Amino acid sequence: MRLPAQAFYNQRNTISEDSGTLRALADTVAWPNDLTLAQWCSWYAATLEFKPDLIIELGRGMGNSTTLFTLAAHRMPGAKVFSFCLSEQWDRLTRPKVRSLTGEEWFAPLSTYLIDICQVDFTHLITPAKRVLLLWDAHGYVVADRVLSHIMPLLAQKEHVVFCHDVTDNRLYADGPRGYMGKTIWRGMESYYASPETVGRTNIFWLNTVVDQFIPILDFCWRNRIELRSTDWEMKEDFAKHPQYYSELQQAVPEDCFSMVNHWAYFTLNEAPGPLTFPASVLKAGEN
């Protein structure tokens, strides 16, 4: 089985054991719009399965992923979480609420920075690490420029995996509606955010998304001969092949902590067969 299904299966007892804490923390963050409890558990399982010593979070927002990665770090002695975001919601709203549940010491594995990701030099963070999990949950072309031109060359020298949020796999909805329903074409995420009732989502092969970065991500994966892997599709295929594992998982994990559909994709340059290629930075060229 591949990472998503293998993680849920292998970590089923840990998820079950930690389900009360996961549920209490998710309720405290109280922002399921960005991440449901089942999605928390999906990233929690995949993180514990991958066993990074360094987790880099791009995009903290209200802090769903920040909180679950910190909880995961407590199960992986020595693991550190570094979180970068422009939003002060975590410091102002979420951290004080989580603190009242966990106490201050609980935050020890976590360092948060209120900063533009494009201003960060990741070299000193990534160079000493052995195994890196990068959560890419800050949207748009500018962050994509920084990730693909600066962060990925550093990650390429390590065992690593990149989780990309906010994508739905069209293959799960083969008979779903394909009509425009009176909406316009998608013309970038800003067009969608400005008017979601009149602008459609975009469909690129199996990907259904509204966020810009999936276009440069697909381009990057194609150039480097690696796959952008659909978590939801891999889970569907792997559990169809291993129904026994699926039923063991279902028996072990509370219903609200598991879903077959979690809306994320992942990739790694570790599976690239040949020489790697990276884009030059738009920011360096002073075009942004």
Ligand X SMILES: C[S@@+](CC[C@H](N)C(=O)[O-])C[C@H]1O[C@@H](n2cnc3c(N)ncnc32)[C@H](O)[C@@H]1O
Chain residues in the site for ligand X (CB under 6 A):
31, 34-35, 59-65, 84-87, 116-118, 137-139, 142-143
**With respect to ligand X, which residue has the nearer C-beta, 9 or 52?**
52
> Shortest Cβ distance from residue 282 to ligand X (Å)?
13
Q: Which two structure tokens, joined as six digits, stand for 194?
A: 């400005």
**With respect to ligand X, which residue has the nearer C-beta, 11 or 39?**
39
Are 253 and 184 in contact, with CB atoms under 8 Å apart?
no
> Shortest Cβ distance from residue 272 to ligand X (Å)?
26
> Shortest Cβ distance from residue 213 to ligand X (Å)?
10
- CA 109 – CA 116 distance, rounded (Å): 21
**With respect to ligand X, which residue has the nearer C-beta, 11 or 213?**
213
Amino acid at 18: D
> Shortest Cβ distance from residue 248 to ligand X (Å)?
28
Closest CA to 53 of 131, 160, 151: 131
Are 110 and 66 in contact, with CB atoms under 8 Å apart?
yes
**With respect to ligand X, which residue has the nearer C-beta, 30 or 240?**
30
> Shortest Cβ distance from residue 57 to ligand X (Å)?
6
Closest CA to 277 of 227, 218, 221: 221
Collapsing DSSP states into helix, strand and coil, what is residue 184?
strand
**With respect to ligand X, which residue has the nearer C-beta, 1 or 279?**
279
- CA 84 – CA 239 distance, rounded (Å): 35
